[in-house]
Copies of this chain bind each other. A is one copy, B any other.
Amino acid sequence: MAAGEVSGRGPRERMVFSAAQLIRGRGVGATGMRDVVAHARAPRGSLQHYFPGGKEELVTEAVEWAGRYAARRVARFVAGLPEPTPSALFTAMVRQWTDDLAARDATSGCPVAAAVVDCADTSETTRTAAAAAFTAWAAAVAQALTDMGVPSARAEALATLMISAVEGALLVARAERDVRALTAVSQELGPLLDAAVEKR
Protein backbone atom coordinates (compact mmCIF):
# COMPACT_ATOMS: atom_id res chain seq x y z
CA MET A 1 0.00 0.00 0.00
CA ALA A 2 2.85 2.24 -0.89
CA ALA A 3 2.09 5.80 -1.86
CA GLY A 4 -0.06 6.21 -4.92
CA GLU A 5 1.24 3.64 -7.34
CA VAL A 6 -1.24 3.12 -10.10
CA SER A 7 1.06 1.47 -12.57
CA GLY A 8 -0.01 -2.03 -11.64
CA ARG A 9 -0.52 -4.47 -14.42
CA GLY A 10 -3.87 -4.58 -16.14
CA PRO A 11 -6.52 -1.89 -15.96
CA ARG A 12 -8.70 -4.18 -13.97
CA GLU A 13 -6.15 -4.71 -11.25
CA ARG A 14 -5.47 -1.01 -11.18
CA MET A 15 -9.11 -0.26 -10.63
CA VAL A 16 -9.35 -2.66 -7.72
CA PHE A 17 -6.27 -1.12 -6.20
CA SER A 18 -7.53 2.40 -6.68
CA ALA A 19 -10.86 1.47 -5.20
CA ALA A 20 -9.17 0.17 -2.07
CA GLN A 21 -7.08 3.30 -1.91
CA LEU A 22 -10.02 5.65 -2.19
CA ILE A 23 -12.29 3.65 0.06
CA ARG A 24 -9.81 3.61 2.89
CA GLY A 25 -9.60 7.37 2.67
CA ARG A 26 -13.17 8.52 2.24
CA GLY A 27 -15.29 5.48 2.95
CA VAL A 28 -17.33 3.46 0.51
CA GLY A 29 -20.27 5.81 0.18
CA ALA A 30 -18.16 8.81 -0.71
CA THR A 31 -16.16 6.89 -3.27
CA GLY A 32 -17.72 7.15 -6.71
CA MET A 33 -17.07 4.84 -9.60
CA ARG A 34 -16.07 7.82 -11.68
CA ASP A 35 -13.50 8.68 -9.03
CA VAL A 36 -12.08 5.19 -9.19
CA VAL A 37 -11.51 5.16 -12.92
CA ALA A 38 -10.02 8.61 -12.73
CA HIS A 39 -7.63 7.57 -9.98
CA ALA A 40 -6.69 4.40 -11.83
CA ARG A 41 -6.32 6.28 -15.09
CA ALA A 42 -8.56 3.65 -16.60
CA PRO A 43 -11.25 4.08 -19.22
CA ARG A 44 -14.67 4.55 -17.79
CA GLY A 45 -16.21 2.11 -20.20
CA SER A 46 -14.19 -0.67 -18.66
CA LEU A 47 -16.27 -0.54 -15.54
CA GLN A 48 -19.27 -2.34 -16.88
CA HIS A 49 -16.99 -4.68 -18.74
CA TYR A 50 -14.78 -5.82 -15.90
CA PHE A 51 -17.27 -5.38 -13.12
CA PRO A 52 -20.71 -6.31 -14.42
CA GLY A 53 -21.74 -6.72 -10.80
CA GLY A 54 -21.42 -2.98 -10.38
CA LYS A 55 -20.06 -1.15 -7.41
CA GLU A 56 -20.69 -3.99 -5.05
CA GLU A 57 -18.40 -6.24 -7.02
CA LEU A 58 -15.67 -3.65 -7.20
CA VAL A 59 -15.83 -2.90 -3.50
CA THR A 60 -15.88 -6.56 -2.60
CA GLU A 61 -12.85 -7.23 -4.69
CA ALA A 62 -11.02 -4.30 -3.18
CA VAL A 63 -11.67 -5.73 0.24
CA GLU A 64 -10.44 -9.16 -0.81
CA TRP A 65 -7.34 -7.59 -2.25
CA ALA A 66 -6.69 -5.78 1.03
CA GLY A 67 -7.04 -9.03 2.95
CA ARG A 68 -4.54 -10.83 0.75
CA TYR A 69 -2.20 -7.88 0.99
CA ALA A 70 -2.28 -7.81 4.76
CA ALA A 71 -1.66 -11.53 5.01
CA ARG A 72 1.27 -11.40 2.60
CA ARG A 73 2.67 -8.51 4.49
CA VAL A 74 2.74 -10.41 7.77
CA ALA A 75 4.87 -13.13 6.22
CA ARG A 76 7.26 -10.54 4.93
CA PHE A 77 7.45 -8.86 8.34
CA VAL A 78 8.42 -12.01 10.16
CA ALA A 79 10.97 -12.76 7.47
CA GLY A 80 12.61 -9.41 7.98
CA LEU A 81 12.73 -9.59 11.74
CA PRO A 82 16.20 -9.64 13.39
CA GLU A 83 14.95 -12.12 15.96
CA PRO A 84 11.40 -13.31 15.67
CA THR A 85 9.40 -12.54 18.78
CA PRO A 86 5.67 -11.82 18.93
CA SER A 87 6.21 -8.31 20.20
CA ALA A 88 8.62 -7.58 17.38
CA LEU A 89 6.07 -8.71 14.83
CA PHE A 90 3.41 -6.60 16.43
CA THR A 91 5.66 -3.60 16.50
CA ALA A 92 6.36 -4.07 12.82
CA MET A 93 2.65 -4.25 12.06
CA VAL A 94 2.00 -1.11 14.02
CA ARG A 95 4.92 0.64 12.44
CA GLN A 96 3.55 0.06 8.99
CA TRP A 97 0.50 2.03 9.98
CA THR A 98 2.32 4.78 11.79
CA ASP A 99 4.48 5.27 8.71
CA ASP A 100 1.41 5.31 6.53
CA LEU A 101 -0.36 7.83 8.73
CA ALA A 102 2.68 10.06 8.83
CA ALA A 103 3.16 9.84 5.09
CA ARG A 104 -0.31 11.07 4.29
CA ASP A 105 -1.29 13.24 7.22
CA ALA A 106 -3.54 10.59 8.70
CA THR A 107 -5.97 10.88 5.84
CA SER A 108 -6.37 7.16 5.36
CA GLY A 109 -7.37 4.16 7.35
CA CYS A 110 -8.05 0.51 6.60
CA PRO A 111 -10.25 -0.30 3.63
CA VAL A 112 -11.68 -3.36 5.31
CA ALA A 113 -12.79 -1.33 8.28
CA ALA A 114 -14.42 1.17 5.96
CA ALA A 115 -16.25 -1.58 4.13
CA VAL A 116 -17.55 -3.03 7.37
CA VAL A 117 -18.83 0.31 8.57
CA ASP A 118 -20.50 1.20 5.30
CA CYS A 119 -21.66 -2.11 3.86
CA ALA A 120 -21.95 -4.60 6.69
CA ASP A 121 -25.70 -4.62 6.67
CA THR A 122 -26.44 -3.57 3.11
CA SER A 123 -24.34 -6.08 1.21
CA GLU A 124 -23.98 -9.59 2.44
CA THR A 125 -21.26 -10.46 -0.04
CA THR A 126 -19.13 -7.48 0.91
CA ARG A 127 -19.54 -8.26 4.56
CA THR A 128 -18.47 -11.83 3.93
CA ALA A 129 -15.45 -10.62 2.02
CA ALA A 130 -14.50 -8.43 4.95
CA ALA A 131 -14.82 -11.35 7.32
CA ALA A 132 -12.63 -13.42 5.01
CA ALA A 133 -10.08 -10.65 4.87
CA PHE A 134 -9.84 -10.51 8.64
CA THR A 135 -9.65 -14.28 8.82
CA ALA A 136 -6.85 -14.49 6.29
CA TRP A 137 -4.95 -11.79 8.08
CA ALA A 138 -5.44 -13.46 11.44
CA ALA A 139 -4.41 -16.81 10.06
CA ALA A 140 -1.14 -15.38 8.85
CA VAL A 141 -0.47 -13.81 12.22
CA ALA A 142 -1.44 -16.97 14.10
CA GLN A 143 0.87 -19.01 11.91
CA ALA A 144 3.72 -16.65 12.66
CA LEU A 145 3.00 -16.88 16.37
CA THR A 146 3.02 -20.65 16.44
CA ASP A 147 6.28 -20.62 14.53
CA MET A 148 7.65 -18.51 17.35
CA GLY A 149 6.60 -21.05 19.92
CA VAL A 150 3.17 -19.89 20.97
CA PRO A 151 0.81 -22.77 21.66
CA SER A 152 -1.57 -22.93 18.74
CA ALA A 153 -4.56 -22.77 21.05
CA ARG A 154 -3.68 -19.26 22.20
CA ALA A 155 -2.15 -18.21 18.93
CA GLU A 156 -5.48 -17.68 17.25
CA ALA A 157 -6.93 -15.68 20.10
CA LEU A 158 -3.80 -13.56 20.32
CA ALA A 159 -3.89 -12.97 16.59
CA THR A 160 -7.40 -11.56 16.73
CA LEU A 161 -6.37 -9.48 19.72
CA MET A 162 -3.47 -8.03 17.77
CA ILE A 163 -5.59 -7.27 14.76
CA SER A 164 -8.37 -5.80 16.83
CA ALA A 165 -5.97 -3.61 18.73
CA VAL A 166 -4.33 -2.34 15.56
CA GLU A 167 -7.61 -1.70 13.85
CA GLY A 168 -9.06 0.12 16.83
CA ALA A 169 -5.96 2.15 17.52
CA LEU A 170 -5.90 3.11 13.88
CA LEU A 171 -9.38 4.51 14.25
CA VAL A 172 -8.42 6.51 17.31
CA ALA A 173 -5.20 7.70 15.73
CA ARG A 174 -7.01 8.92 12.68
CA ALA A 175 -9.51 10.82 14.77
CA GLU A 176 -6.77 12.41 16.83
CA ARG A 177 -4.47 12.91 13.89
CA ASP A 178 -1.84 11.50 16.17
CA VAL A 179 0.01 8.23 16.23
CA ARG A 180 -0.18 8.11 20.00
CA ALA A 181 -2.83 5.41 20.24
CA LEU A 182 -0.91 3.09 17.95
CA THR A 183 2.33 3.40 19.84
CA ALA A 184 0.56 3.03 23.17
CA VAL A 185 -1.06 -0.18 22.03
CA SER A 186 2.22 -1.53 20.75
CA GLN A 187 3.95 -0.64 24.00
CA GLU A 188 1.40 -2.15 26.32
CA LEU A 189 0.71 -5.29 24.37
CA GLY A 190 4.32 -6.29 23.74
CA PRO A 191 5.09 -7.99 27.06
CA LEU A 192 1.82 -9.90 27.04
CA LEU A 193 2.59 -11.29 23.62
CA ASP A 194 6.13 -12.33 24.42
CA ALA A 195 4.96 -14.01 27.61
CA ALA A 196 2.87 -16.35 25.52
CA VAL A 197 5.78 -18.14 23.89
CA GLU A 198 6.40 -21.46 25.51
CA LYS A 199 9.76 -21.77 27.16
CA ARG A 200 11.49 -24.99 26.38
Q: Which residues of A contact B (CB under 8 A)?
A: 25-30, 106-109, 112-114, 116-118, 120-122, 127, 130-131, 133-135, 154, 156-158, 160-161, 163-172, 174-177, 180-181, 184-185, 187-189, 191-192
Distance, CA A25 to CA B184, complexed state (A): 29
Question: By the criterion CB–CB under 8 Å, are A117 and B122 in contact?
Answer: no
Nearest B-chain residue to A192, judged by Cβ: B192
CA of A188 to CA of B155 in the docked complex: distance in angstroms? Answer: 11
In the assembled complex, 18 residue pairs joining A and B whose CB atoms fall closer than 8 Å, in A order, are: A27-B118, A28-B29, A108-B121, A116-B171, A127-B174, A131-B175, A131-B176, A134-B172, A157-B184, A160-B169, A160-B180, A163-B168, A164-B165, A164-B168, A167-B168, A168-B168, A168-B171, A188-B192
Does A109 lie within 8 Å of B118, measured CB to CB? no
A188 touching B158, Cβ below 8 Å: yes
Number of identical monomers bound together in the oligomeric complex? 2
Contact status A165-B165, CB under 8 Å: yes
Of B27, B120, B157, B185, the contact of A164 (CB 8 Å cutoff): B185
Task: With CB as the reference atom, state the residue of chain B lying closest to A25.
Answer: B121
CB of B175 within 8 A of CB of A161, answer no
- The list of the 7 closest CB pairs from A to B, nearest first, reads A29-B29, A168-B168, A164-B168, A167-B168, A164-B169, A130-B175, A27-B118
The answer to whether B114 and A109 have CB atoms under 8 Å apart is no
- Would you give the shortest CB distance from A20 to chain B, in whole angstroms? 14
Measured CB to CB, the nearest residue on chain B to A134 is B172
The answer to whether B168 and A169 touch across the interface, beta carbons within 8 angstroms, is yes
A76 to chain B, nearest CB (A): 22
Known A27-B28, A29-B30, A29-B118; contact A160-B175, beta-carbon cutoff 8 A: no
List the B residue with the shortest CB-CB distance to A172: B134
